[in-house]
Chain A
Amino acid sequence: MLPLQLDGVSIAFPNPPGPPRIILRATDLVLPAGAMVGLEGPSGAGKTSLLHALAGLEPVAAGSIRWGGENIAELDGAARAHWRRRHTGLVFQDFHLIEGLSVLDNVLLPVWFDMFRTPRALRDRAKALLVGMGLPMPLPPLAVLSRGERQRVALARAVLRQPPLLLADEPTASLDAEAAGRIGSLLVDMAANSGATLIVASHDPHLLARLPIRLRIAETRLERLA
């Protein structure tokens, strides 16, 4: 539900003793609210780096990143964390679930950032999400879940609080074709249902094919595919 506007965004990493290594050069981009975007490009091109910049996980070298008018590039770390908490849902290739927490608690984790007790409504919604994604009930321990099931838990965690912005970094890369197809559908459906803006970095042609807007990074340029 958030429109995105990039103005002159550059991403670079320090590369001592040489000059900083430029990953993305002075890029402009406008995306409407609720856009569904596929981000592709060769390995090492900078997909992850761009996604991190869009999520405010890493500062940019130059330019502004406006999500619905708020320039997250000029926020400090704490303010960016606060912004992420309220606006983004993230899904990673390796799920990044917390071992030692139960499946349900993994989904509820972001709730504890603000609240001591978990509201009944959120707990019910977490359960409903997991059931809706086809996880076995009663929920098994996290340790025994398959990779496809883990990614569904991670997806439930990302969408629990209905963020206006869903960012996914190769969400299907470590899954077999069947599980990948399932996660791809869920991701697209979730975004469509809530009207969230969805950006997915991926090499998976099946997943990319479901996304109406296609972007490609190559040699420090971000280009829009037809």
Chain B
Amino acid sequence: MNPFPLALAGLRHRRGTALALALLVALGVALGVGVGALERSLRQGAARAADAFPLIVGAPGSPTQLVLTAVYLQPDTVTLVPGGVLTRLAADAQAAWVSPIGFGDRWRDKPVVGVAPEFVTLGGRRALAEGRVFAAENEAVIGTAVPLAMGDQLIPAHGLAHAGADEDDADTHHHGDSPYTVVGRLPPSGTPWDHAILVPIERVWEIHGLGNGHAEGAERIGPPWEAAQGIPAVVVQPRDFPGAYALRARYRDAQSNAVFPAEVLVSLFRLMGDVQAVLSAMAMASAVLVLAAVFLAFSGLVAARSRDFAVLRALGAPWRFVLAAVWLELALVLLGGVAVGLGFGWLGGWMAADALGRHARVAVTVAPGWDEVLLALAVLVAGMLGALLPALVVWRRPPGEALKR
């Protein structure tokens, strides 16, 4: 038995209808696949971004804002945590290392961020892609997306730097006195930090006319800071697990707030999960609607070919041949639609993730995942089982009637 030529003949003869149907299926599948892939990749991208930030201490207020400031370099209304908190943290026995995060200037649209040398290497955990850690106040380590080379010099413009800020709306006087020299480059992290220029926090304080954070006359880089100034956030690497909780408890008071970014992100994801649930419910509903439309169209397709099927039966085709021919025709439409939909879904998810990621300077990579393949397979199997229905209907009608018409 060979029902293929017949199924293909049906598709060829009604290629417009078949194509429209396949596209409809593709649309439904693409919607579900795209939403799923996008959500998953956003979650992964966000979680990756929090890797370098075990504990963040900032001014009392919104934990979400603190995470946005430190992890995503999006300071909104920055309330500073007093320098005394940094001094205490740097001396805390339960902290392996601490680093202030201070915003000062920017170069082009790249924020210049003041940190401690320990943050550059994450206390030895992170190897530089190029060069070395800054060792003097006029040296800088750049993120992977900063278009400068080792040995290049840069003169930042003053102004509160934040991603996407317009060059004109900031107070752009130059600090011509001493430029920074690029001495190192961070490996890519897929976060806004890829666009940052890391300089010693001491220099940031000085530019604001606050001294260098150390005792009079000292020209060191890094802790301890005897005369630390206010900063938007402090990153703290706890020595151990109990230490992490002890630190968080100790620095939650009237002066400061301490949060685990991972924890904050989880609650954000929970919120995002709700949004995602709504989105996938919508995607599901539209997929169901599309499938329903497809079945209506299938019945139409089968009705339009009922004479052909009656002819087959008059010629003595066995029931399995008629069944296979009807089913194959519908299955080919479904298969084409699902395959195209899977591709479109991933492409759409990827483009949306890319656009979102570029906006937030977070690298969001949509990788094809099994979840979407399973969804597509589920649609395919449901559709192929459903396609048996019209095929069975065809068999149950006596062939004589259709021939007399």
Q: A interface vs B, CB < 8 Å?
A: 48-49, 52, 55, 57-58, 77-78, 81-86, 88, 90, 92, 96, 98-101, 105, 109-110, 112-117, 157
Contact = CB atoms under 8 A, between A and B. Distances in A.
A81 B319 contact: yes
Interface stretch (B2-10, B24-32, B106-114, B332-340): B2-10
B12 A90 contact: no
B147 to A, nearest CB: 59
B1 interface: yes
B334 to A, nearest CB: 19
Interface stretch (B76-84, B199-207, B396-404): B396-404
7 contacts: A57-B313, A77-B319, A81-B313, A85-B316, A98-B308, A98-B311, A105-B9
A140 B403 CA distance: 26
Interface string B1-23: 11101101111111000000000
A115 B2 contact: yes
B318 interface: yes
A90 B315 contact: yes
Most buried by B among A85, A92, A98, A114: A98
B112 to A, nearest CB: 69
A100 B12 contact: yes
Contact of B316 (A99, A113, A116, A117): A113
Most buried by A among B6, B11, B14, B311: B311
B316 A86 contact: yes
A46 to B, nearest CB: 11
A58 B321 contact: no
Contacts of A81: 313, 316-319
B328 to A, nearest CB: 12
Closest 6 CB pairs of A and B: A85-B316, A100-B13, A100-B9, A84-B316, A112-B2, A58-B400
A116 B2 contact: yes
Given A57-B399, A114-B1, A116-B1, A101 B6 contact: yes
Given A100-B10, A100-B12, A84 B1 contact: no
Contact of B318 (A55, A85, A90): A85
A110 B403 contact: no
Given A100-B9, A100-B12, A113 B318 contact: yes
Contacts of A113: 1, 315-318, 321
A110 B318 CA distance: 10
Contacts of A90: 314-315
B307 interface: yes
Contacts of A116: 1-2
Contacts of A117: 2
Interface of B: 1-3, 5-6, 8-14, 307-308, 311-319, 321, 398-400, 403-404
Nearest to B404: A48
Contact of A109 (B6, B307, B313): B6
Given A58-B398, A58-B400, A100-B13, A112 B314 contact: no
B319 A78 contact: yes
Nearest to A56: B316
Given A96-B307, A98-B6, A112-B1, A78 B400 contact: no
Contacts of B12: 100
A81 B317 CA distance: 6
Contacts of B9: 98-101, 105
A196 B313 CA distance: 21
B307 to A, nearest CB: 7
A114 B318 CA distance: 9
B403 A99 contact: no
B5 A105 contact: yes
Contacts of B8: 100
A65 to B, nearest CB: 14
B345 to A, nearest CB: 31
B403 A96 contact: yes
Nearest to A48: B404
A101 B2 CA distance: 14
B389 to A, nearest CB: 19
Contacts of A82: 316, 318
A92 to B, nearest CB: 7
A36 B211 CA distance: 118
Contacts of B311: 92, 96, 98
Contacts of A99: 9, 13, 308
Contact of B321 (A55, A77, A112): A112
Given A96-B311, A100-B9, A100-B10, A88 B316 contact: yes
Nearest to A81: B316
Contacts of B403: 52, 57, 92, 96
Contacts of B312: 109
A110 B3 CA distance: 11
Nearest to B10: A100
Nearest to A106: B9
Given A96-B311, A112-B1, 11 more contacts: A49-B400, A57-B313, A83-B316, A85-B315, A86-B316, A99-B9, A101-B6, A109-B6, A113-B1, A113-B321, A157-B315
A81 B13 CA distance: 26
A101 B404 CA distance: 22
Contacts of B404: 48
Nearest to A99: B13
B13 A84 contact: no
A144 to B, nearest CB: 15
Nearest to A95: B311
Nearest to B307: A96
Most buried by A among B1, B5, B8, B12: B5
A49 B401 CA distance: 10
Contacts of B400: 49, 52, 57-58
